[in-house]
Chains A and B, each alone.
Chain A
């Protein structure tokens, strides 16, 4: 299977949907191969939240120097933003609105059952897949039955069994993530510096940062072990017309077609319902300019989530030398055991079989026979 290294589908959001959704939803910004991820912490003590002497909020100021890219048009440079539960809480979103987000968002990545399900922490101990000393940053979302001692902590009701959930606080609390995409390193550095200085004036600190790199080589983006990445991209479709495919209207792509509601709130999802997003009670926004639409089904609520989405951020580490050392050792073992038939067994050969693809992303046939061919009849 050959591929171009880019998304095989050309699709766009239509009208207001494109203006409301962030550009990150429709594009990986492949023409902006570098950037910076800034992890923000709101350090203001009380309301008004991060306003300067003119009364302008940090978000207004940010829009001047790093406007958040919408899905309606290309932009160079580009930016995207996301907030954690504790970030929205600190920004003053009402308890009722916060509780309308989905359970994983409200519980956080460090909810004890989720930690166990993901293989991160069991019986009060971090698993060996987690870096020494445990993760360094998180939203530090308060757990149920929280007993204090953690920044942001406030009592949430106990579980129905009266269980007090374990708190696994990280040294850094992240309230928002700002992703800045640029065409070269110098521009990325300069913009990250400007943004950091501006945010500092509003008591918004950059507590952690990561470089964003696409590593494009001959039109192929590669992950750290050196294998082609981003091969299969979904192509959303929407029967209500929120998606315009490239060219004329076409049926959903057989392999890559996914309902739009799997990505954006307020659209039909794979379960044939409108993807449920967060709501805002009408009374909660007295005295402020409201541009939100009323929710189509929840009476008395504004549709806070329309064309928004959830984003999961996990910082992972790939041990590249250990991977290739292990492949070299494995290949040497095979050659030693079977010296006659294993001349082509190299570390690269073995790594391609471990990943299931060649380095350029071509599919290997599993078990040595074509994918479409059935296994032989059972004995």
Chain B
């Protein structure tokens, strides 16, 4: 997998895991993903995923009649630092989303432990990865921070006028 990574500033992770069987597990995982999706729609509206400033895109989907969980993501810099970010800043969300996977490190109360077992989680996530033959990146040479900055500059240019203070902040982006 490492042979396919770090050719451009962005990398891609494609992973597919089996979901543990059982009706209760199925209800929990569906509700968890629905809740997480709604919460992030409300919370992550500024172009960043919480305090993580390296994620371009992340997508979970149920496949194979709901028996497998698929995850795709584009991110800046190396896979290791991406996973470290997840483990340190978003391990609860990650445990909720992936805790149903076969082989996931033991969890407590749905969101505790799990992904915070850094090394075990990394090993599991690495082995869950499968090769993506094709992946798309709109700006393959830019990081999330650079894209956001360009966006702020473009938005400023589109406005008819700016207050002095806002213009002062806009100019710091140039």
Chain A positions near chain B (C-beta within 8 angstroms): 112-113, 116-117, 159, 161, 163, 270-273, 276, 367-368, 375-376, 378-379
- Top 10 closest pairs, chain A to chain B, by CB: A271-B118, A113-B2, A117-B6, A367-B172, A116-B6, A376-B169, A117-B78, A271-B119, A113-B3, A163-B3
Please state if B166 and A272 are interface contacts (CB–CB under 8 Å): no
- CB contacts (< 8 Å) of B136 on chain A: these are none
Please state if B3 and A161 are interface contacts (CB–CB under 8 Å): yes
Q: Nearest residue in B to A122 (C-beta to C-beta)?
A: B7
Q: How far is the CA of A378 from the CA of B173 in the complex (A)?
A: 14
Q: Mark B154-172, 1 if CB is under 8 A from A, else 0.
A: 0110010000011001001
26 A-B residue pairings within 8 Å (CB atoms)? A112-B3, A113-B2, A113-B5, A113-B6, A116-B7, A117-B5, A117-B78, A161-B3, A163-B3, A271-B116, A271-B117, A271-B118, A271-B119, A272-B118, A273-B117, A273-B119, A276-B119, A367-B172, A368-B172, A375-B169, A376-B166, A376-B169, A378-B46, A379-B155, A379-B159, A379-B166
A367 smallest CB distance to B (angstroms)? 4
Q: How far is the CA of A112 from the CA of B7 in the complex (A)?
A: 12
Q: Nearest residue in A to B159 (C-beta to C-beta)?
A: A379
Q: How far is the CA of A378 from the CA of B170 in the complex (A)?
A: 11
Q: How far is the CA of A270 from the CA of B117 in the complex (A)?
A: 10
Q: How far is the CA of A218 from the CA of B169 in the complex (A)?
A: 38
Q: How many A-B residue pairs have CB under 8 A?
A: 39
Query: Is B87 an interface residue, CB under 8 A from the partner?
Result: yes
- CB contacts (< 8 Å) of B78 on chain A: these are 117
Instruction: Check A271/B87 contact, CB under 8 A, given A376-B165, A378-B46.
Output: yes
Please state if A272 and B117 are interface contacts (CB–CB under 8 Å): yes
Q: Which of A159, A276, A379 has the most CB of B within 10 A?
A: A379
Chain B positions near chain A (C-beta within 8 angstroms): 2-3, 5-7, 46, 78, 87-88, 116-119, 155-156, 159, 165-166, 169, 172
Q: Which of A113, A271, A367 has the most CB of B within 10 A?
A: A271
Q: Nearest residue in B to A375 (C-beta to C-beta)?
A: B169
- CB contacts (< 8 Å) of B88 on chain A: these are 270
Q: Nearest residue in A to B131 (C-beta to C-beta)?
A: A161
A305 smallest CB distance to B (angstroms)? 15
- CB contacts (< 8 Å) of B166 on chain A: these are 376, 379
Q: How far is the CA of A265 from the CA of B117 in the complex (A)?
A: 17
Given contacts A113-B6, A271-B118, 19 further A-B contacts (CB under 8 A): A113-B5, A116-B7, A117-B5, A159-B3, A161-B3, A271-B87, A271-B119, A272-B117, A272-B118, A273-B117, A276-B119, A367-B172, A368-B172, A376-B165, A376-B166, A376-B169, A378-B46, A379-B155, A379-B159
B90 smallest CB distance to A (angstroms)? 14
Q: How far is the CA of A99 from the CA of B3 in the complex (A)?
A: 21
Q: How far is the CA of A113 from the CA of B11 in the complex (A)?
A: 13
- CB contacts (< 8 Å) of B169 on chain A: these are 367, 375-376
Please state if A273 and B118 are interface contacts (CB–CB under 8 Å): yes
- CB contacts (< 8 Å) of A271 on chain B: these are 87, 116-119
Q: Which of B3, B5, B7, B165 has the most CB of A within 10 A?
A: B3
Q: Nearest residue in B to A116 (C-beta to C-beta)?
A: B6
- CB contacts (< 8 Å) of A113 on chain B: these are 2-3, 5-6
Q: How far is the CA of A270 from the CA of B119 in the complex (A)?
A: 11
Q: How far is the CA of A338 from the CA of B60 in the complex (A)?
A: 52
Q: How far is the CA of A273 from the CA of B156 in the complex (A)?
A: 48
A206 smallest CB distance to B (angstroms)? 35
- CB contacts (< 8 Å) of B7 on chain A: these are 116
Q: How far is the CA of A153 from the CA of B172 in the complex (A)?
A: 53
Q: How far is the CA of A376 from the CA of B169 in the complex (A)?
A: 8
Q: How far is the CA of A133 from the CA of B118 in the complex (A)?
A: 39
